Structure 1
Amino acid sequence: MKKTLICGALLVFVQQMNLVQAQDWKPVEGKIMTEWTEKVTPENAHQEYPRPQMTRDNWVNLNGLWDYAIQAKGAAAPSNFEGEILVPFAVESALSGVGKTVGKDQELWYNTEFASPKKSIKDHVILHFGASDWETEVFVNGVSVGIHRGGYDPFEFDITSALKSGKSQVLQVRVWDPSDDGPQPRGKQVNNPSGIWYTPVTGIWQTVWMETVPSSYIAGIRNASDLESKQILVTPQVTAAQAGQQVKVSAWKDGNMLAEQTIDPNGTAKLTIANAEFWEPGNPVLYDLKVELISGKKVLDEVGSYAAIREIKMAPDAEGIQRMMLNGKFLFQYGPLDQGWWPDGLYTAPSEEALVFDIQKTQDMGFNMIRKHVKVEPARWYYACDKMGMLVWQDMPSGDMGNGWEMKVGVLGSQTDRARTPESEAIYRTEWKEIMDDFYSFPSIVVWVPFNEAWGQFKTKEITEWTENHDPSRLVNSASGGNFEMEGTKITGDIIDLHNYPDAKMPDPGIFGKENIIVLGEFGGLGLPVDGHVWQQKDNWGYQSFKNEEELLNRYAGLMKRLEELISDGLSAAVYTQTTDVEVETNGLMTYDRKVIKMKAAQLKPLHDKLYQVSVK
């Protein structure tokens, strides 16, 4: 009886201490915040299942308050910590509760404990990280279980052998991120932010989670489709597959099974969908998938997924101008340049609601596409685009800058490629391949963009062709904004992409449109700083600034009228800069804190609807 009372009192004490710690956490003050900031708590920080393309019931979310320390690079694991950090928010962000910079000469250490997972003797425990920037080493009970280098791709480690007996396990993480002092992909992060360059993001910035799996288990799924045969193609990846095991794949809609096939673990299921509907904006039809690893009649492992049937291709119109074709039809693609930054969370949206908000507002405004600019989002962002019918162009995050730049005839960027070191090239290739592989199954992604404006651009022809060969199911925009490799009038890749501020222009279709799709990859940049909703009170920046919303809308309407003319002449897509203000940039359709929408959806949607109705021969 006395022992029970002591244990009960101890449990209450621990719960009270956790509550006190949670109450001590608060966002770092001093900058503007979104409306979701005040809703964030250590208990509710991104609790959604982080991998919608491959779901399991048996998982544990490890987000919350962890210990942290910043110390010299190469020092031993710390025994004392400086305070607590809210995972998954980067240490520089307000929502981390820390708001400190790290830099190339220091490392960020994390420390936490988690309850020992329930498992059989043959089960394995997999520890997952949505993303951590940049070099991440993971220790479980003092044992290094692996090192990952890459700031944008998910990774995992099998930690089974490092677990010990007892009720809890110790998890420590070491992160080193040199930001723009290193050659790695880092997007717009710099140590000294200004203009179009922003605050560094160091450490864990997406969900950390854990799952228990059997000794043979489904480790991955690659979903594709074939429009002509109306088939969904599912290729599973099975770890430690044994003789006699098979994989059963079934497709479902509204609770009804539409097709089923059993294959070998290294095979591809081809599910023919009767009366199939194609995925597209306005009709984003998704089919649920069930993937089971079986031995005889016994189900060893099971995951849920989904897929769509859709096709993106290049084909000429009646005038011989190459067009961007979705499911065999021309659809003008128009969307904003979306940087994916937040004043409170930097790379990390404050919540799932906030993450979806930007997509929903973009859709409400009448856009049908988003160009995700030199950043990769959590898988749930693409899941939302899949469900909502939003097309996505996905950039590779830039890095290893240093190129010169000059313009040729006002149309094409011309310069020599960057001379990267073997280490830099290997880092780029590894992460770009991982990004393409990890996000391959999201039907919303229709274009890969390996380079932007010659930022760290190298071996353009080779990298573009490698990208095309690695994923022939999508279009490739080799160099958004310039530095094209040409053979005659043919540019490497599928697309010729011009950047022009502020006016809408395009390359001559008579010269360039016979071999490549013509797009306006960036334009606009119309600025309107809104007092009380800016990152800093002075020295804000825009390509062209206006005094009020009326002036801004009138100028924008003129741009849309010009776009209509260009579509008729051969333009297939355009990207307006940009979704929101970001730090000192004030070119957004919305303010950085998302509290002011500068041009209302009711004003923009009629302008955009006309773009999709332009007659093309």
Structure 2
Amino acid sequence: MTRKPILLSLLTYLIIFLNAVTVQAQSIGELVSEDPFADFQTPLNKLQTTWAEKGEGLNHDYYPRPQMVRSGWINLNGQWDYAILRKGEGMPHEYDSKITVPFAVESSLSGVGRSVGKEAELWYRTNIKIDNKLRNGNVLLHFGAVDWESEVFVNGKQVGIHRGGYDPFSYDITDFLISGAEQEIVVRVWDPSDDGPQPRGKQVKEPHAIWYTPVTGIWQTVWIEPVPKSYIQSVRLEPNLDQSEFKIQADVKHAKSGQKIEVVVFAEGVEVGKGEFGAGSEGNIKLASVRTWSPEDPFLYDVKFKLKSGNKTLDEVKSYSAMRKISMAKDSNGINRMMLNNEFVFQYGPLDQGWWPDGLYTAPSEEAMLFDIEKTIEMGFNMIRKHVKVEPANWYYHCDRLGVLVWQDMPNGDHGNNWESRPGIAGYGTEKERTVESETIYKNEWKAIMDALGHFQSIVVWVPFNEAWGQFKTKEITEWTQAYDKSRLVNSASGGNFVMEGSKITGDIIDLHNYPNAVMPDPGIYGKDQIIVLGEFGGLGMPVSGHTWQEKDNWGYQSFSSKSELQKKYGELIESMIPLIENGLSAAVYTQTTDVEIEINGLMTYDRKVIKFDIPVLKALHDRLYSVKVGFGK
């Protein structure tokens, strides 16, 4: 390949500077208000989705942890008290007004729409009523995600502090409950946005170009769950297709001697595997029959875990998994290819940032969240790159259920790197010298994200770094990621900040970004050791009047004024990719699923009301990519 497209790509970045598990709340306890949204009215916003306008499903009352389902839970979403105080002032005596959880305070769906910043803290308070039925075991308080530092108090006593904006966390609040039904929960949140070193994705205090509105506070579901004294804390199923078995792990909290974990695997209701292990130990379950998971056939096995003492069942959770394998293998020309279930499948999908005009990080409802995935499939994509953001667990469940391959980015933070040109290397930048605190924050949250998402077999690629944004110790981070999860591939540096070990790039993948045209690194140089992918391209923009974040000065890599012109150029991009696939390209990511704030590069508008392309045309174009034949063997 020539150097010109790569240099143009780098210049571009310099210019811009960068089952269906739905369980309703059980009647184990009750909230103060039977309908926490009874008095809530969506505030006016310059751009809203249909789901926000309808006001349905805003409580996010679907079961929030599909990988480990228990029958009883209490949804604490709804209207809480809130206050914004100067950092360090302490717990407020009075609260400003009401905020709607789980929407960030900056969003319109929160009912607030206020910024916070590094000099202030956001406080939440709610009162709940808990029946005596909860007191028979332990009571867990779960948070899907809170950005960024949170401190939780129950009945005036500190329960714990969590630092991390993208990973779920829980507290056992049993010992903090007081006599009587009514209990108080208070949460303090501090989020310095881009003034801090923490992972924060595209959030900046002054949004512009590809950088968006900050997200502060609770942005995923808050819920309470009753559990026994000894209970299953987490489960993990890792498929081994070549051995026709699942590696099983179940962690037990407060395990006692002699307790066992019984695991049964079902295929369409028929038992196909069973095993029993010591509580907290690992084991393997061989399957009597194997049906692989793929975009064409996203088959899921149901799995039941029981914690037993003798013949007595102490705890039971329902789960699921998929039998799939992601790997690399050389084609007949000696070029590494990305393989799914030991076969080459070209992976093609949009860059999906997961932002909403009314909810910011939080989709208005599960129906809205599902809409993006379903439209992606209808358009003929078989993959999604989740870009510098993490979604609620149900998003990944739906990808598992519907058959969408996922590349999961680590949200970036602590910027300050500079691009450089190095002869013979497709992309190169300096590594960030981060403080010990900054490095520790990154490593802790990356591990927590991998732990939280490792269950979801739709995820086939981990992406620790994007375009040198805060990139540091690339070799160390990449090798740790590869060692920690051997069941997936690792794309160490999406966009070109590659680290060389002699002539070999660290990680499994060499990933180039280029706008707007489809290009790839020279397979003769890079394809012998790495899988070749085009991690971002396209960015074809078209503003749609009445559906933009602002009336003018919207931004795109290349803008068009009509659907016909836009679609014609897109078709040319797809056609140009076919010879690249033949020569060694294994995957590509088109920018992007939707417009986001002033970016108008989406396949859909930001409010999801207008799809800018004809869906059948897109699907027909994409089917051509999957039909390209690649030879294997001599």
> Per the shorter chain, which TM-score range?
over 0.9
Q: Which of the numbers 556, 568, 571 marks the counterpart of 1:554?
A: 568
| 2:325 matches 1:299 | no
Q: Which of the numbers 92, 101, 114 marks the counterpart of 1:78?
A: 92
Q: Which of the numbers 187, 195, 204 marks the counterpart of 1:190?
A: 204
Q: Check conservation: 1:117, 1:212, Cα contact below 8 A.
A: no
Q: Which amino acid aligns with 1:40?
A: G
Q: State the distance in 1 between where 2:362 and 2:313 align.
A: 37
| 2:430 matches 1:416 | yes
| 2:411 matches 1:400 | no
| Count of residues in correspondence between the two structures | 602
Q: Which residue of 1 aligns with 2:52?
A: 37
Q: Which residue of 2 aligns with 1:455?
A: 469
TM-score by length of 1: 0.95
| 2:186 matches 1:172 | yes
Give 5+ residue unaligned stretches, structure 2. 1-29
The CA deviation at 1:601 is 1.3
Q: Which residue of 2 aligns with 1:234?
A: 248
Q: Check conservation: 1:411, 1:498, Cα contact below 8 A.
A: no
Q: Which residue of 2 aligns with 1:26?
A: 41
Deviations 1:322-342 (A, max 9, x none): 000110000000000000000
Q: State the distance in 1 between where 2:165 and 2:135 align.
A: 34
Q: Check conservation: 1:70, 1:107, Cα contact below 8 A.
A: yes
Query: What is the 5 A alignment of 1:191-590?
Result: 191-408=205-422, 412-590=426-604
Q: State the distance in 2 between where 1:465 and 1:433 align.
A: 13
Give 5+ residue unaligned stretches, structure 1. 1-13
Deviations 1:154-203 (A, max 9, x none): 00011111100011100000000000000000000000001000000000
Q: State the distance in 2 between where 1:544 and 1:320 align.
A: 36
| 2:77 matches 1:63 | yes
Deviations 1:63-116 (A, max 9, x none): 011000000101121121111111000000010010000000000000001112
Q: Check conservation: 1:323, 1:517, Cα contact below 8 A.
A: yes
Out of 287-296 and 22-31, give the one that drifted further: 22-31
Out of 481-490 and 323-332, give the one that drifted further: 481-490
The CA deviation at 1:255 is 2.2
Change (3 A) 1:410 1:367: farther
Q: State the distance in 2 between where 1:458 and 1:576 align.
A: 26
Q: State the distance in 2 between where 1:22 and 1:379 align.
A: 23
Q: State the distance in 1 between where 2:37 and 2:349 align.
A: 40
Q: State the distance in 2 between where 1:79 and 1:516 align.
A: 59
Q: Check conservation: 2:464, 2:478, Cα contact below 8 A.
A: yes
Q: Which amino acid aligns with 1:342?
A: W
Q: Which residue of 2 aligns with 1:8?
A: none
The CA deviation at 1:261 is 1.1
Q: Which residue of 2 aligns with 1:7?
A: none
RMSD of the alignment, in Å? 1.6
Q: Check conservation: 2:512, 2:536, Cα contact below 8 A.
A: yes
Q: Check conservation: 1:35, 1:595, Cα contact below 8 A.
A: yes
Q: Which amino acid aligns with 1:514?
A: K
Change (3 A) 1:411 1:535: farther
Q: Percent identity?
A: 61
Q: State the distance in 2 between where 1:571 and 1:533 align.
A: 35
State the SS of the aligned residue for 1:156: strand
Q: Which amino acid aligns with 2:445?
A: E
Q: State the distance in 2 between where 1:92 and 1:44 align.
A: 16
Change (3 A) 1:446 1:231: same
TM-score by length of 2: 0.93
Q: Check conservation: 2:267, 2:302, Cα contact below 8 A.
A: yes
Q: State the distance in 2 between where 1:485 and 1:70 align.
A: 44
The CA deviation at 1:267 is 2.2
Q: Which amino acid aligns with 2:611?
A: I
Q: State the distance in 2 between where 1:356 and 1:431 align.
A: 26
State the SS of the aligned residue for 2:83: strand
Q: Check conservation: 1:366, 1:608, Cα contact below 8 A.
A: yes
Q: Check conservation: 2:512, 2:520, Cα contact below 8 A.
A: yes
Q: Which of the numbers 97, 103, 126 marks the counterpart of 2:117?
A: 103
The CA deviation at 1:549 is 0.3
